[in-house]
Chains A and B, each alone.
Chain A
Amino acid sequence: MNGIAYGMILFLIASGFSLIFGVMRILNLAHGSLYMLGAYFGLTIAKVSNSFLLGVLAAIIGIGVVGLLLQRAFLERLYKQIPEQVLLTLGLVYIFSNLALWIWGPFAKVGTAPGFTAGSINLGGIFFSVYRIALIFVGLAVALCLYLFQEKTWYGAVIRAGMHDKEMIIALGINYRLISNLVFILGSMMVGAAGFLGSPILGAHPWMSFEVLLLALAVIVIGGFGYVQGALMGAIVIGLIDSFGKVFFSDFALFTIYLAMIIILLIRPAGLLGKTR
C-alpha cells in the first residue's frame, strides 16, 4: 500500500512543480491537458519505436513545444488578467480533450514500464514495484535540481523576484519575456514527462484533464505556490491522503482531498510552505 502512496506522490510532484512554474502569474488550467497530451504523445512514440526512452523524449519535447505555443499565442496577451486566463485555458481544456478523443479514441491507454524496471523487490516482507521506486528517485532528483536552480542561481532569483514585481525586473533591463517563456517551456516539459512516466500507473484517457488539474490545484493550494518545497510537500501530503484514504475510507479519498484543500485555503491561504504576501 505504501508503494502506491509513493508512486502517486511522484506524479503529483512532477505535475505540481510544473504548475508552480506555470503560476508566474499565469493560471493555466490547461495544465492537466498538457499532462494528458504528454501521456498520449509519449505512448504513441514509444509504441511506434518500441523505446521507452524515445517515449520520454517525445513527451518532453512535444509538450514543451505545445507549451511554448500556448504561451506565445494566448497567454502572453493576458498578463495579469486572471479571469480571462481562466476562461481561455478552460476553453483549451475542452479543445484538447476533444482532440485527444478524436485522435486516440475513447479507450484508456496504459503505459508499460521499461524492461529493466519490471517486477518488484521484496523489502522486509512487502513487495514494492521497482518502477515506482525508480520514480521516487527520479522525482527527488528533479526536485533537487529545481530547488538548486531556484535558490542558488541567478535565474532562479530573477524568477522569484519576477513573481512579485514584473515591471521592476523589466526596468532592470532583464529580458523577462525570454525568461518567462523558458520557464513556461520548462514547466510544460516537466508535466509532459510526468504524463508519460505516469502512464503505467495512471494511464491516459481523454477526460483526465480536469482530474489532473484538480489534483495539481490541490497540491499547490496545500503546499503553497511558487516554490519547489511547497509543491513537494503538497504532493506528498496529497499522495498520502489518497492512499490512506483509499485504505480506510475506500470511497472518500477525493472527498478528503477537497476538504483538506478548503481547510488550508481558510487557515493558511498561502499553503503550508508558501510565503504570505
Chain B
Amino acid sequence: MVFRKPIWRSQIAQWAPYVITGIALVALTPFISDYFKYLITKILIYAVFAMSHNLLYGYSGLFTLGHAAFFGVGGYTAGILIIRYDIHSFWLVLPASILMVLLVAAVFGVIALQAKGLFFLFITLALGQLCENVATKWRTMTGGSNGLVGIPYPDLGLPGLTMNPSYFYILVICVFIVSCFLLYRLTHSPFGEALKGIRDDEGRMAHLGYNTWLHKYLVFIIGGMFAGMAGVLFGHLNGIIIPAHLGISTSTMAMLMVIIGGSANVFGPAVGAAAVTILELVSSIYVPERWPLILGSAFVFVVLLLRGGITPHLVRLLSRFKVFIWKH
C-alpha cells in the first residue's frame, strides 16, 4: 500500500549518489596534485577502516579497542605475500589477505564474544596487543619493530597499466564506493536491523528468536574483513606496515574518527576520517610536534560537547543552507 514507488526510480535513487560521488572524485584526477591524491586516498582508506569499526560499535553495540588487529593483519599479510613470497598480483594478494583476516577474526570472535561489555573491551584490547607483540617479535616474517618496508603499489596485471599515484587513487575510490554501498546495504538489511536491536537490548532480541551470539560473531568477522581490506590498501599506500598498526594506537584512531564523525549512520565515520586527516595535515604544517595534543583535545572536546559527532550538526547546517537557497 504505502511502499509502492516506481521501481526504476528507486533503483536509480539507490545507485545514483554512489555513482555521482565516484565519478566526481575520479574526474578530479588530472586536476589535482599527486600530494592531494595521496591525501584523498589516505582519507578514503581510513574511512573504510572507520566505517568498519562503526559497524561493530555504532550499529551492534560492540565496543572494541582491538579492531586494528584486523587492519594490521590485512596489511601484513599483503606485505608478506609480496615481499617474502614474491606474489604480486593484486587479485591474489587481496583475497588471500582478506581470507587471513577472516580466519583471525573467526578465532578472535569466538574468544572475545564469550564476554560482554567491559570484559569484551579488555579481551579485544589484549588480543590486539598480542598481535602487535607477535609482529614485533617475529622478525623473520614481519620485519620486527621496523615493520615491513618496501611494499610496492598493487599489480593489477592489466597490460600496459603500471600503477602510479593516479591509478592507485582511482582504485581506492572504487574500493571505497563499493564498500560504502555494501555497508549501506548491510546496515539496512534485516541482518542490520537485527544488529541494531541487539545493540539496544540483546536480551529482548533473544526472546524474539534471534541467536544473538551468531549475529555478533558474523558482524565481528565482516567488520574485520573490511578493516583488513583497508589495511591492505594502507600498506600499498605508504609502502610500510609496522607493529603499531595492529595495536591500541591505531584502534583508537578508528574510534576517534567514528566519534568525531558520528556513529549514527554509515557515512559518519568517513566524515570523521576526513576531519581527522585534515586536522593532522593542518597540525603538521603549523605545530607538527603537538599533533597528539591536538588529537587528544579533539577527543575530549567531541566527547564532552559534540555528542553524536559532527555529522548531525553538518547535516543540520546543510539543510538550513538548502532552506536558505530555497528562499532566495
Contact = CB atoms under 8 A, between A and B. Distances in A.
Interface string A193-230: 00000000000000000100010011001000000000
Contacts of A88: 299-300, 303-304
B303 A258 contact: no
Interface string B225-252: 0000000000000000000000011001
A101 B304 contact: no
Contacts of A218: 126
A97 B123 contact: no
Interface stretch (B35-43, B48-56, B127-135, B273-281): B127-135
A93 interface: yes
A254 B243 CA distance: 14
Contact of A261 (B126, B303, B304): B126
B86 interface: no
A99 B263 CA distance: 29
Contacts of A102: 289-290, 293
A91 B259 CA distance: 12
Contact of A95 (B122, B123, B127, B300): B300
A48 interface: no
Given A82-B117, A217-B122, A255 B299 contact: no
A88 B297 CA distance: 9
B125 to A, nearest CB: 7
Contact of A87 (B123, B127, B291, B303): B303
B293 to A, nearest CB: 4
B242 to A, nearest CB: 14
A207 to B, nearest CB: 10
Contacts, number: 100
A262 B296 contact: no
B133 A265 contact: no
Given A214-B129, A262-B111, A265-B122, A84 B296 contact: no
A45 interface: no
B297 A258 contact: no
A227 to B, nearest CB: 17
A86 interface: yes
A254 B128 CA distance: 13
A137 interface: no
B300 A265 contact: no
A255 B304 contact: no
B249 A210 contact: yes
Interface in A243-277: 251-252, 254-255, 258-259, 261-262, 265-266, 269
A158 interface: no
B171 interface: no
Interface string B212-226: 000000000000000
B299 A269 contact: no
Interface in A17-55: 27
Contact of B126 (A91, A94, A262): A262
Interface residues of B, number: 38
B117 A210 contact: no
Interface string B106-140: 00000100110111011101110110011001000
Given A98-B290, A258-B129, A91 B303 contact: yes
Given A87-B299, A90-B299, A258 B133 contact: yes
B63 interface: yes
A269 B122 CA distance: 10
A92 interface: yes
B174 interface: no
Contacts of A72: none
A114 B65 CA distance: 40
Nearest to B117: A82
Given A258-B126, A262-B111, A95 B133 contact: no
A95 B304 contact: no
B119 A265 contact: yes
A218 B298 CA distance: 28
B270 interface: no
A83 interface: yes
A94 B296 contact: yes
B304 A77 contact: yes
A94 B123 contact: no
A253 to B, nearest CB: 10
Nearest to B61: A83
A265 B115 contact: yes
A266 B293 contact: no
B255 interface: yes
26 contacts: A74-B300, A74-B304, A83-B63, A84-B303, A87-B255, A87-B256, A90-B299, A91-B300, A91-B303, A94-B293, A95-B296, A98-B292, A102-B289, A210-B248, A217-B122, A217-B125, A252-B137, A258-B127, A258-B129, A262-B111, A262-B127, A265-B122, A266-B111, A266-B114, A269-B115, A269-B119
The 4 A-B residue pairs with the shortest CB-CB distance in the complex, in nearest-first order: A91-B299, A94-B296, A95-B296, A98-B293
Interface of B: 63, 65, 111, 114-115, 117-119, 121-123, 125-127, 129-130, 133-134, 137, 248-249, 252, 255-256, 259, 289-293, 295-300, 303-304
Given A87-B299, A262-B123, 10 more contacts: A82-B117, A90-B296, A97-B292, A98-B289, A102-B289, A217-B125, A255-B130, A255-B134, A258-B126, A269-B119
